[in-house]
């Protein structure tokens, strides 16, 4: 009688190195949060706070797109559409009806859920490149629509959006708290029952459907969840700048968020956070190079992709047969 197949855990064939122990340490996330909380004590200039706040909002965008691309394997090239929907919904309600920005959050969630269903319902039956092209088209449709409607301010956008906090430092800490909860929520979703279904769909959609997974509903759930994350990030974006316009929601924004997910490691929450921080802060560190900073930025990204094709902090499978 043959011996039963032995299940081995990935990465246990070799003794773990000190670096791998550090990366697998559950306290790494707390350490990252402490760094974010202590950053204003190092540099609290208005410029530094603005850059750090933008980086935190970018992390939330990347965490939302990671639900769609990293967990479920849906290539979305128009994710900035939900970012725009959230920003414009809060901006219109706050300026037209004189509402505090915090009061607009429930409406933003409802509108982004509806937008996710409206955009995702007819498109998620597509796969691969076809889905990517359609989502890219929807992203541009949202931007062009905002550019031509009077209620959204047309090309000029919306101005005078109230802040969530009077002090830039307080708003930065508020943003860090909200983004931390969003990242934690995305990670918990990835480890939940629906998260396992997303991974099944990502690995083999046909096999998942044969095993009883309703792949269409599962994909729509991922798309709607990503839409909510993007919409809430849009609220923070509108509160930070107090003004929004269609030029803030171009395809380049979607591409950069997708780049952060791929760079950090698709499906890896800590990897996506690191990728988003690198993508958002690296151009600022290269600002002294003037016209050459984006060229060097691109070269560094290509080098990282070649040296670490799996991402800076790839997701690890728990076990394989």
pLDDT-derived band of residue 289, with 50, 70 and 90 as boundaries? confident
pTM over 0.95: no
Structure tokens at 86: 């959230």
Query: Residues 279-303: what's their mean pLDDT?
Result: 81
Enumerate residues 6+ apart whose C-beta is below 8 A from 181. Answer: none
3-state secondary structure 267-317: CCHHHHHHHHHHHHHHHHHCHHHHHHHHHHHHHHHHHHHHHCCCCCCCCCC
pLDDT value at position 112?
Answer: 96
Rounded CA separation 125/172 (Å): 40
pLDDT value at position 8?
Answer: 42
- Name the β-bridge partners of 159: 243
Query: Residues 226-241: what's their mean pLDDT?
Result: 95
pLDDT value at position 9?
Answer: 42
- Between vectors from CA 163 to CA 248 and to CA 101, what angle results, nearest 5°? 90
- Domain range annotation of the chain: 44-249
Query: Residues 1-25: what's their mean pLDDT?
Result: 47
62-120 pLDDT, tens per residue? 999 999 999 998 989 999 999 999 999 999 999 999 899 999 999 999 999 999 999 88
């Amino acid at each position: 009688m043959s011996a039963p197949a032995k299940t081995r855990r990935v990465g246990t064939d070799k003794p773990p190195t000190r670096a791998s122990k550090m990366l697998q340490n559950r306290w790494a996330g707390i350490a990252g949060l402490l760094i974010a909380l202590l950053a204003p004590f190092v540099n609290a200039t208005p410029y530094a706070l603005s850059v750090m706040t933008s980086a935190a909002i970018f992390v939330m965008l990347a965490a939302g797109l990671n639900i769609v691309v990293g967990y479920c394997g849906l290539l979305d090239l128009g994710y900035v559409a939900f970012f725009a929907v959230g920003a414009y919904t809060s901006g219109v309600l706050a300026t037209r009806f004189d509402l505090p920005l915090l009061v607009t959050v429930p409406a933003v969630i409802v509108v982004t859920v509806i937008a996710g269903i409206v955009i995702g319902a007819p498109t998620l039956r597509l796969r691969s490149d076809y889905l990517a092209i359609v989502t890219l088209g929807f992203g541009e449709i949202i931007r062009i629509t905002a550019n031509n409607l009077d209620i959204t301010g047309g090309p000029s956008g919306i101005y005078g959006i109230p802040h969530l906090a009077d002090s830039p430092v307080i708003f930065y800490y508020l943003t860090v708290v909200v983004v931390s909860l969003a990242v934690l929520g995305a990670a918990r979703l990835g480890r939940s029952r629906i998260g396992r279904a997303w991974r099944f769909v990502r690995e083999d959609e046909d096999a998942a459907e044969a095993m009883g997974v309703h792949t269409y509903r599962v994909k729509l759930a991922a798309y709607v969840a990503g839409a909510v994350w993007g919409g809430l990030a849009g609220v923070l974006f509108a509160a930070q700048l107090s003004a929004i316009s269609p030029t803030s929601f171009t395809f380049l924004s979607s591409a950069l968020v997708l780049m952060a997910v791929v760079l950090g490691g698709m499906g890896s929450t800590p990897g996506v956070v690191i990728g988003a921080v690198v993508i958002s802060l690296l151009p600022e560190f290269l600002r002294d190079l003037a016209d050459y900073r984006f060229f060097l930025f691109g070269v560094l990204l290509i080098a990282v992709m070649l040296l670490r094709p799996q991402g800076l902090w790839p997701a690890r499978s728990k076990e394989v047969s």
